[in-house]
């Protein structure tokens, strides 16, 4: 059984001051967890962009992501053909604009054969979730 974690879970797992830190960091340490490669960029952006109370230096954020995420989780990379197929499916799933980024996390979860996709933003995913997709869960 594997579980894919989106960037909201990764960010909380890396911030001991976050209320969701205990549950998110436990998921990240769990064997068999996976992340979509793009979540690394989203996490880096959040850690260095000042959206949190503190803004990390880029080199520190890069080291934190490597040591606490990449060294612990399987990183799922989507091929161009998989991304283009997701674009083709967008209309039937009601996806427009930035929702494609969340949908690509779900596509990566399917590719990883994940049982569940964990996110702190479940409502962002439930609108395009379909039977047969990995479950959308909150840590």
Domains and CATH numbers, the chain: 3-122 (3.40.50.1010)
113: left (phi over 0), alpha (psi -120 to 50) or beta: left
Spatial CA neighbour of 12 closest among 23, 4, 101: 23
pTM, two decimal places: 0.93
Q: What is the pLDDT of residues 9-64, one digit of tens each?
A: 999 999 998 999 999 999 999 998 999 999 999 999 999 997 667 789 999 999 99
Cβ distance 75 to 34 under 8 Å?
yes
Q: How far apart are the first and last CA of the chain?
A: 16
Spatial CA neighbour of 78 closest among 119, 107, 102: 107
The mean of the pLDDT values for the chain is 94
Alpha-carbon distances, residue 114 vs 24, 57, 97, 132 (angstroms): 17, 33, 25, 11
């Amino acid at each position: 059984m594997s579980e894919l974690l989106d960037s909201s879970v990764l960010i909380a797992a890396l911030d001991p001051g976050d209320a969701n830190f205990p549950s998110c960091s436990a998921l990240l340490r769990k064997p068999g967890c996976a992340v979509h490669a793009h979540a690394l960029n989203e996490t880096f952006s959040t850690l260095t962009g000042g959206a949190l109370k503190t803004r990390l230096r880029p080199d520190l954020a890069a080291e934190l992501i490597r040591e606490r995420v990449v060294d612990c989780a399987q990183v799922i990379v989507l091929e161009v053909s998989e991304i283009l197929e997701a674009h083709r499916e967008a209309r039937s799933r009601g996806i427009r604009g930035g929702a494609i980024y969340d949908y690509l996390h779900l596509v990566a979860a399917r590719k990883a054969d994940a049982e569940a996709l964990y996110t702190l933003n479940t409502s962002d995913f439930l609108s395009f979730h379909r039977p047969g997709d990995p479950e959308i869960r909150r840590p």
